[in-house]
């Protein structure tokens, strides 16, 4: 189990090193919005909520599993089901055949 914590720490360190690039990109994208302050606040709140929920779920899964290594497979299964749900939702909400998809705003 300590090896998993060390691996998570390594991934967290790499994410922290790549982190300074994200605010610049997000600030540029948010500045193109009609209400950039509201969009920035909503994005920040959403990102924080996702990080907290993922951390809580990961800690709960890791704390309930033993050292047999089943926690990793549970996390992969849960994440797979979440992304499968997102994919099915996107597939179901696609535009009907012959209709153009939504175009980008004029600000791009």
pLDDT in tens, 13-27: 887 777 777 777 777
Given this model, what pLDDT does residue 65 score? 61
Residue pair 108/32 in contact (Cβ under 8 Å)? The answer is: yes
Average pLDDT over residues 69-93: 84
Given this model, what pLDDT does residue 81 score? 92
pTM for the predicted model, two decimal places: 0.44
CA atoms of 13 and 19, how far apart (whole Å):
10
CA atoms of 56 and 59, how far apart (whole Å):
5
CA atoms of 62 and 86, how far apart (whole Å):
24
């Amino acid at each position: 189990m300590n090896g998993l914590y060390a691996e998570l720490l390594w991934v967290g360190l790499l994410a922290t090193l790549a982190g300074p690039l994200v605010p610049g990109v997000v600030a540029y994208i948010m500045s193109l919005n009609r209400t950039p302050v509201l969009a920035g606040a909503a994005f920040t709140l959403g990102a924080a909520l996702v990080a907290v929920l993922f951390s809580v779920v990961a800690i709960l899964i890791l704390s309930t599993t033993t050292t047999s290594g089943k926690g990793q497979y549970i996390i992969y299964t849960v994440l797979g089901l979440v992304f499968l749900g997102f994919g099915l939702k996107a597939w179901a909400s696609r535009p009907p055949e012959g209709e153009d998809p939504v175009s980008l705003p004029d600000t791009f």
